[in-house]
């Protein structure tokens, strides 16, 4: 799994804690090929300074559609935790859909119903 961490043009790349936390995604799905993390500090007109994280995961078996999670918060670490939580949920859903076995279709194929 390749991990790419990007910041905005004039902002420094955030701390190495992001890479450490992103590596935990491989526990949820083993077919992750590439993960791109985009971190940014922005100024919202009502909220003031906000941090945003967008995580994009490209899977080996998923075709051309990447899985994305985006989160904004007051702190970069809070945004990272929220985006990771969303990404873990999406990867779990993808894995369940991928490994789902239609029991009724198996019974019909065997001639039991």
Q: Give the tens place of pLDDT for each residue, 4-39.
A: 888 876 666 667 888 899 999 989 888 899 999 999
Q: Give the tens place of pLDDT for each residue, 50-78.
A: 989 999 999 887 566 899 999 999 988 99
- β-sheet bridge partners, residue 24: none
Q: Rounded to an integer, what distance in angstroms lies between the CA atom of residue 76 and that of residue 73? A: 7
Token pair recorded at residue 40: 């940014």
Token pair recorded at residue 22: 């992103």
Q: What's the predicted TM-score (pTM) here?
A: 0.81
Please name each of the domains of the chain with its CATH number: 2-110 (3.30.160.100)
- Using an 8 Å Cβ cutoff, are 94 and 67 in contact? yes
């Amino acid at each position: 799994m390749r991990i790419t961490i990007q910041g905005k043009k004039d902002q420094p790349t955030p701390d190495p804690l992001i890479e450490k936390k992103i590596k935990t995604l491989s526990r949820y799905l083993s077919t992750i090929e590439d993960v791109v993390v985009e971190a940014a500090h922005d100024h919202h007109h009502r909220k003031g300074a906000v941090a945003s994280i967008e995580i994009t995961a490209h899977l080996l078996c998923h075709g051309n559609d990447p899985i994305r999670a985006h989160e904004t918060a007051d702190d970069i670490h809070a945004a990272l935790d929220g985006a990771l939580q969303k990404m873990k949920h999406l990867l779990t859903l993808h894995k369940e859909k991928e490994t789902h076995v239609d029991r009724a279709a198996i019974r019909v194929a065997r001639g039991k119903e």
